[in-house]
Amino acid sequence: MLGNVSLEQATVEDAGQLAEISKRAFHSDIHVMAPSKGADASAREGGGPIGYDSPEFQTRMMRVCRYYKMIYDEQIVGGLIASRRRHGHYELERIFVDPKYHNRGIGTEAMKGVFTLFPDAKIWTLGTPEWNVRTKHFYEKLGFVQIGWTKDEPAWNGRYYQKSMDPHQRYKTMKISELTSGMRGVEVEAKILEISEPRHVRSRTTDEPLRVANAIITDETGTIKLALWNEQIKQVKISDRIRINSGYITSFRGEKQLNAGKYGPLIILL
Ligand SMILES: CC(C)(COP(=O)(O)OP(=O)(O)OC[C@H]1O[C@@H](n2cnc3c(N)ncnc32)[C@H](O)[C@@H]1OP(=O)(O)O)[C@@H](O)C(=O)NCCC(=O)NCCS
């Protein structure tokens, strides 16, 4: 029990109800500056992030993440989805509270509750749209600090937040010199030194046409080639400091190459 709010693992039987609550919660974004123009005009017309109103999506997230229902007054009033990115690093994938129960401290209690469920967390991270004044206030009050921007959405940038659970201990990402071929879940911070002109190639597995540009990135231990695919190419520029959260290392023509991966966007550090 966390105050009057408890977190319980969500089950498939809850998926329909959680999808309904999520739908109502995200539709309430119209009151907090959801843009009225551009690709996510749907947020104003009643939209939300991928799968937000789908019971099947909730069920899938229950399989691949830690999905909790929030119980208040013996009722389900919201959901919270978390995942473990790397040892010591957890990501808040999503949180939503039924608008009927907004601004009573339930979201805050649920966040404090999830922090206690994962005592091995050194950092928690999350992304939220730049226009969302409500989540900005909510996360910053909980001690999250914006450390970067994401640029993977066509119509808006995302704020990327991090909370250090122990401010005296700096969370360390991997170093470039430690990266070896075949590694997955690679988390590095580095500066972009060069970006090549994009080339047109075809996917080896699906044959679809792709664009790829090679960047050279560096940290204090070395340099590595980073493959930027399609939309990633225009998200970064030379001299940007970036964080990659779930990259993987391949070997191409005998040379190690870092790929940013599709789970977790490129983060342009402040
Ligand atoms: C974000 C969310 C989960 C917060 O839940 P909640 O139970 O209302 O949270 P709390 O009551 O603990 O805190 C809400 C805070 O936001 C503040 N807030 C509400 N509307 C606001 C606005 N328009 N601008 C700024 N702050 C606002 C409240 O005043 C409160 O802060 P306070 O405690 O300093 O007064 C809820 O608003 C929600 O479901 N939003 C839609 C879904 C969403 O955006 N999820 C996050 C992205 S994944």
pLDDT digits (tens, 9 = 90+) for 138-178: 999 999 999 999 999 888 999 999 999 998 888 999 999 99
Looking at the fold, whether 229 and 143 belong to one and the same domain comes out as no
Q: What's the per-residue H, E or C state across the chain?
A: CECCEEEEECCHHHHHHHHHHHHHHHHHHHHHCCCCCCCCCHHHHHCCCCCCCCHHHHHHHHHHCEEEEEEECCEEEEEEEEEEEECCEEEEEEEEECHHHCCCCHHHHHHHHHHHHCCCCCEEEEEEECCCHHHHHHHHHCCCEEEEEECCCCCCCEEEEEEECCCCCCCCCECHHHCCCCCCCEEEEEEEEEECCCEEEECCCCCCEEEEEEEEEEECCEEEEEEEEHHHHHHCCCCCEEEEEEEEEEEECCEEEEECCCCCCCEEEC
pLDDT given for residue 242 in this prediction: 98
Residue 190 lies in a domain: yes
What's the chain's average pLDDT?
Answer: 92
Residue 264 lies in a domain: yes
Looking at the fold, whether 113 and 155 belong to one and the same domain comes out as yes
Looking at the fold, whether 32 and 156 belong to one and the same domain comes out as yes
Say if ligand 1 is within 6 A of residue 100 CB.
Answer: no
Looking at the fold, whether 15 and 129 belong to one and the same domain comes out as yes
pLDDT band of residue 36 (cuts 50, 70, 90) is low
Say if ligand 1 is within 6 A of residue 141 CB.
Answer: yes
The reported pTM is 0.94
CATH number of 247's domain: 2.40.50.140
**Domain-ending residue, one of 119, 141, 164:** 164
Looking at the fold, whether 148 and 181 belong to one and the same domain comes out as no
**How many structural domains compose the chain?**
2
Please check whether residue 125 is in contact with residue 164, taking contact to mean a CB–CB distance below 8 angstroms: no
Looking at the fold, whether 77 and 211 belong to one and the same domain comes out as no
**Domain-ending residue, one of 114, 135, 164:** 164
Q: What is the pLDDT of residues 113-127, one digit of tens each?
A: 999 999 999 999 999
Strand partners, 82: 66, 92
Looking at the fold, whether 143 and 30 belong to one and the same domain comes out as yes
Of 103, 108, 115, 150, the residue with max ligand 1 atoms within 8 A of its CB, to mutate for a pocket test, comes to: 103
Residue 56 lies in a domain: yes
Looking at the fold, whether 131 and 214 belong to one and the same domain comes out as no
Range of the domain at 262: 176-269
Parallel, antiparallel, or unpaired for β 209-219 and 145-150?
unpaired
Looking at the fold, whether 11 and 119 belong to one and the same domain comes out as yes
pLDDT given for residue 183 in this prediction: 95
- Asked if residue 72 has pLDDT above 60, the reply is yes
pLDDT given for residue 21 in this prediction: 98
Residue 240 lies in a domain: yes
- Asked if residue 41 has pLDDT above 90, the reply is no
Of 23, 33, 69, 102, the residue with max ligand 1 atoms within 8 A of its CB, to mutate for a pocket test, comes to: 102
pLDDT band of residue 186 (cuts 50, 70, 90) is very high
**Domain-ending residue, one of 164, 196, 211:** 164
Looking at the fold, whether 33 and 11 belong to one and the same domain comes out as yes
CATH number of 74's domain: 3.40.630.30
Residue 50 lies in a domain: yes
Q: Which atom of ligand 1 is nearest to the CA of 29?
A: 41
Looking at the fold, whether 97 and 206 belong to one and the same domain comes out as no
| Token representation of residue 223 | 């340099």
Q: Give the integer Cα–Cα distance in Å for 225 and 241.
A: 15
159 φ/ψ angles, rounded to the nearest 5 degrees: -85, 135
Say if ligand 1 is within 6 A of residue 107 CB.
Answer: yes
Residue 169 lies in a domain: no
Residue 170 lies in a domain: no
Residue 230 lies in a domain: yes
| Token representation of residue 8 | 């319980």
pLDDT given for residue 243 in this prediction: 97
Looking at the fold, whether 12 and 125 belong to one and the same domain comes out as yes
Q: What is the pLDDT of residues 189-224, one digit of tens each?
A: 999 999 999 999 998 889 999 999 999 999 999 999
pLDDT given for residue 46 in this prediction: 66
